[in-house]
């Protein structure tokens, strides 16, 4: 079984956000870059499926600037077989439709049986690219998956659990299919030293818009259908009423304040 | 034709609250744009829901109905939404940022190569331009999104942020059945069953009041304190990443950057220190209460109200007092 995994390099979730001088992006000077945590679940699931079958190939693909190669290398160290790095100024700054088109162009020639990715990338928080990828590849999808069973043989199907409000949906789809991973799907492994050494020799193929046949249609930021016009920090909060010492009095006072002042209970 | 189109999600033939909020906001936006509001429903029954939509301002109600639409099927629902867009050619297409809306909107946006702003907390129309604000970096920053020329401009609206108007201006409420040429392939991926989570069915992302427990819970059994307070308030149970990673409670309940990003009316953090990861998920709550033994805990900086004390002592007292005033 051939499995493609779409990943993204994102700022570590502990990153303190500083707005860049352009007022539309973050200052990247003190950012630690990591593999998007949800994409790690996707990579882990791909590796588990390959290991369970004892055969197959796991290809990781990303769209991003030069630094993103490190994220691909991390996935190769976990055990993925090879990487595809789409790096082109005409694509890197694209909107979700542009990113999904580029990923689709990179993944389509692989003819994978299954495509995995994170349910969203932390930071941009768009929650769009995985599902859009399915649409562009004309494949079914199942998003926000916490459990995945992949059948074998011809006309193999997958059954997944998907989180919704206060319940879970059991979803079925035929292969090939795009699945987006939610926390709970698995516990991603850490790369072993052996894995890290092996990753250095694994191939990463670089592709630009021309190589993907997207020349002229890759629209970058200028042609984006949606873009960030302004980025700002949320307004600071002023100090609150903090109660202490006599707990009984504090509890009574808190309930009174919530009832009479804040009027929320 | 142009106008504003809203997808109103229903499950078991009931309109969900985030859908009502989105319809209300759609009405407000349509008024600002001096245009009509259309509402699309997709499902197998859809009877008796038109009145409420008209009352909230729907001028036109489109119903895409067929037995196989009882449960969510992404491609079939996307096909119906596509048909509605082709029919009405709307300038704006809004959906609730519910589990269904977040799944459906990107399918539809990709089909039209349209711009989609996810999980918006405000949307405005000024000087002929549409702008949407949305939290990014899990609320650590707010982005104002601008749209290009592709129509429709799409947005999903975060639940619990937009108000359902108490006294809305009703719309014309014309009802039309939308005929959609469904094919077998539109049901490739489909829901075959919905399993309610045992115990509480109120989800943190939908609740007006959320009570969360953190590292100080020390184990799953102590979450009964959180449940007790949540029940007294009619709220949902949340948890920090520390509590979820320790296996004390299911990930469904996690509030924070790798959990759910929520904005309830009241958020009560019990024994949660307030790691940046957690703050990112709840800082847009309207009123924040912290209960923590450590007076230096970062959560107090964000709290509107707080008690420095032992939650095991404080919570039973709060529950008693709440019962008294509600009595």
Burial of B149 (0-12, 13-18, 19+ CB in 10 A): exposed
**Confidence at residue A107, expressed as pLDDT on a 0 to 100 scale:** 98
* Chain B hits for A127, Cβ within 8 Å: 102, 106, 118-119
Interhelix angle A129-136/A96-107, rounded to 10 degrees, is: 50
- Omega within 30 of 0 (cis) for the link into B21: no
User: At A154, is the pLDDT very low, low, confident or very high (cuts 50, 70, 90)?
Assistant: confident
**Cβ contact B193–A169 (<8 Å):** yes
In this structure, are A193 and A99 located in the same domain? yes
Q: Encode chain B (327 residues) as per-residue pLDDT tens digits.
A: 589 999 999 998 999 899 999 999 999 999 999 999 999 999 999 999 999 999 999 999 999 999 999 999 999 999 999 999 999 999 999 999 999 999 999 999 999 999 999 999 999 998 889 999 999 998 889 999 999 999 999 999 999 899 998 888 999 999 999 999 999 999 999 999 998 865 556 889 889 999 999 999 999 999 999 999 999 999 999 999 999 999 999 988 999 988 888 989 999 999 999 998 899 899 889 999 999 999 999 999 999 999 999 999 999 999 999 999 887
**Confidence at residue B200, expressed as pLDDT on a 0 to 100 scale:** 55
In this structure, are A125 and A62 located in the same domain? yes
B256-266 confidence digits (pLDDT tens): 988 888 989 99
**Confidence at residue B196, expressed as pLDDT on a 0 to 100 scale:** 81
Two structure tokens written together for B206: 């939908």
A48-97 confidence digits (pLDDT tens): 999 999 999 999 999 999 999 999 999 999 999 999 999 998 888 889 99
pTM reported for the whole predicted model: 0.91
- Residue A106 sits in a domain whose CATH number is 3.40.50.620
In this structure, are A53 and A144 located in the same domain? yes
SS3 content of chain B, % helix, strand, coil (to 5): 35, 30, 35
Interface size A-B, in CB pairs within 8 Å, comes to: 278
**Confidence at residue B102, expressed as pLDDT on a 0 to 100 scale:** 97
* Location of structure tokens 């102590």: B222
Q: Is B203 helix (H, G, I), strand (E, B) or coil?
A: coil
Residue A224 domain-assigned?
A: no
The minimal CB distance from B306 to the residues A15, A123, A240 is found for: A240
- CA pair distance B191, A134, nearest whole angstrom: 17
User: Where are the CATH 3.40.50.1220 domain residues in chain B?
Assistant: 209-326
Alpha helices in chain B (DSSP H): 17-32, 50-55, 74-88, 99-112, 223-233, 241-245, 276-282, 299-302, 311-326
User: For an interface test with B, which of A94, A187, A258, A259 has the most B Cβ atoms less than 10 Å from its Cβ?
Assistant: A258
The CATH architecture annotation of domain B209-326 reads 3-Layer(aba) Sandwich (3.40)
Closest approach of A202 to chain B, Cα-based (Å): 30
For β-strands A82-86 and A57-63, DSSP reports them as parallel
**Confidence at residue B182, expressed as pLDDT on a 0 to 100 scale:** 96
The minimal CB distance from A251 to the residues B254, B261, B321 is found for: B321
* Chain A hits for B95, Cβ within 8 Å: none
CA-wise closest residue to B212 among B255, B152, B173, B161: B255
Closest approach of B292 to chain A, Cα-based (Å): 10
* Alpha-carbon dihedral sign for residues B276, B279, B280, B281: positive
- CA pair distance B280, B165, nearest whole angstrom: 28
**Cβ contact B300–A122 (<8 Å):** no
In this structure, are A73 and A160 located in the same domain? yes
Residue A113 and residue A4 in contact, taking contact as beta carbons nearer than 8 Å: no
In this structure, are A169 and A101 located in the same domain? yes
The CATH architecture annotation of domain B4-187 reads 3-Layer(aba) Sandwich (3.40)
**Confidence at residue B199, expressed as pLDDT on a 0 to 100 scale:** 55
Give chain A's domain count: 2
Residue A127 domain-assigned?
A: yes
In this structure, are A167 and A247 located in the same domain? no
- Omega within 30 of 0 (cis) for the link into B293: no
In this structure, are A78 and A129 located in the same domain? yes
For β-strands A82-86 and A9-11, DSSP reports them as unpaired
> Which of A99-108, A163-172, B49-58 shows the lowest per-residue confidence on average (mean pLDDT)?
A163-172
Closest approach of A192 to chain B, Cα-based (Å): 22
User: At A236, is the pLDDT very low, low, confident or very high (cuts 50, 70, 90)?
Assistant: confident
In this structure, are A24 and A99 located in the same domain? yes
**Cβ contact A164–B100 (<8 Å):** yes
Query: Is the pLDDT score of A201 beyond 60?
Result: yes
**Confidence at residue B201, expressed as pLDDT on a 0 to 100 scale:** 62
Burial of B128 (0-12, 13-18, 19+ CB in 10 A): exposed
The minimal CB distance from A135 to the residues B110, B203, B233 is found for: B110
Structural domain boundaries enclosing A135: 2-207
**Cβ contact B144–A174 (<8 Å):** no
Q: How distant, in Å, are the alpha carbons of A91, B11, B93 from that of A146? A: 31, 21, 29
In this structure, are A140 and A243 located in the same domain? no
Residue B68 and residue B182 in contact, taking contact as beta carbons nearer than 8 Å: yes
B146-186 confidence digits (pLDDT tens): 999 999 999 999 998 999 988 889 999 999 999 999 999 99
**Cβ contact B71–A165 (<8 Å):** no
Alpha helices in B192-310 (DSSP H): 223-233, 241-245, 276-282, 299-302
In this structure, are A244 and A202 located in the same domain? no
- Averaged pLDDT for residues A255-263: 94
């Amino acid at each position: 079984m051939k499995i493609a995994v779409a990943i993204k390099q994102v700022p570590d979730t502990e990153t303190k956000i500083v707005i860049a001088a352009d007022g539309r992006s973050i200052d990247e000077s003190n950012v630690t870059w990591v593999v998007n945590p949800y994409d790690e679940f996707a990579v882990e699931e791909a590796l588990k499926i390959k290991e369970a079958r004892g055969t197959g190939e796991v290809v990781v693909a990303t769209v991003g600037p030069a630094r993103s190669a490190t994220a691909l290398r991390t996935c190769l160290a976990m055990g993925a077989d090879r990487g595809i790095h789409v790096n082109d100024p005409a694509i890197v700054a694209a909107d979700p439709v542009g990113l999904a088109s580029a990923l689709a162009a990179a993944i389509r020639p692989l003819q994978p049986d299954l495509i995995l990715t994170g349910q969203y990338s932390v930071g941009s928080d768009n929650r769009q690219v995985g599902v859009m990828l399915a649409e562009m590849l004309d494949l079914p999808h199942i998003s926000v998956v916490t459990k995945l069973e992949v059948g074998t043989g011809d006309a193999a199907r997958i059954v997944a659990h998907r989180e919704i409000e206060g319940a879970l949906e059991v979803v079925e789809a035929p292969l090939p299919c795009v699945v987006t991973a939610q926390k709970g799907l698995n516990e991603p492994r850490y790369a072993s030293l052996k894995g890290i050494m092996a990753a250095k020799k694994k191939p990463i193929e670089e592709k630009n818009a021309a190589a993907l046949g997207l020349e002229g249609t890759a629209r970058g930021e200028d042609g984006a259908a949606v873009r960030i016009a302004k980025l700002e920090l949320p307004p600071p909060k002023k100090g609150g009423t903090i109660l202490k010492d006599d707990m009984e009095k504090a509890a009574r006072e808190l309930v009174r304040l919530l009832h009479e002042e804040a009027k929320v209970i | 034709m142009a106008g504003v189109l809203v997808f109103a999600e229903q499950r078991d033939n009931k309109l969900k609250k985030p859908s009502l909020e989105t319809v209300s906001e759609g009405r407000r936006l349509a008024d600002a744009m001096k245009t009509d509001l259309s509402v699309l429903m997709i499902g197998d029954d859809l009877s008796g829901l038109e009145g409420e939509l008209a009352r909230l301002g729907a001028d036109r109600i489109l119903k895409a109905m067929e037995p196989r639409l009882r449960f969510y099927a992404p491609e079939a629902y996307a096909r119906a939404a596509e048909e509605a867009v082709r029919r009405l050619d709307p300038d704006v297409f809004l959906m609730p940022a519910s589990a269904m809306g977040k799944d459906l909107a990107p399918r539809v946006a990709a089909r039209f190569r349209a711009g989609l702003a996810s999980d918006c907390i405000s949307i405005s129309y000024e000087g002929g331009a549409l702008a949407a604000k949305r939290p990014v970096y899990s609320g650590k920053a707010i982005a104002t999104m601008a749209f290009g020329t592709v129509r429709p401009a799409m947005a999903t609206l975060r639940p619990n942020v937009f108000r359902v108007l108490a006294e809305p201006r009703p719309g014309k409420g014309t009802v039309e059945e939308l005929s959609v040429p469904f094919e077998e392939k539109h049901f490739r991926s489909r829901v075959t069953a919905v399993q309610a989570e045992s115990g509480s069915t109120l989800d943190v992302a939908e609740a007006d009041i959320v009570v969360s427990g953190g590292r100080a819970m020390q184990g799953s059994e102590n979450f009964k304190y959180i449940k007790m307070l949540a029940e007294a308030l009619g709220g949902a149970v949340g948890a920090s990443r520390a509590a979820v990673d320790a296996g004390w409670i299911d990930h469904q309940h996690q509030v924070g950057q790798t959990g759910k990003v929520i904005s309830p009316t009241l958020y009560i953090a019990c024994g949660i220190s307030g790691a940046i990861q957690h703050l990112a998920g709840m800082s847009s709550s309207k009123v924040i209460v912290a209960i923590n033994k450590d007076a230096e805990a970062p959560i107090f900086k964000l709290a509107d109200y707080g008690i420095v004390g032992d939650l095991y002592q404080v919570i039973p007292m709060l529950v008693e007092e709440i019962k008294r005033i509600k009595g």
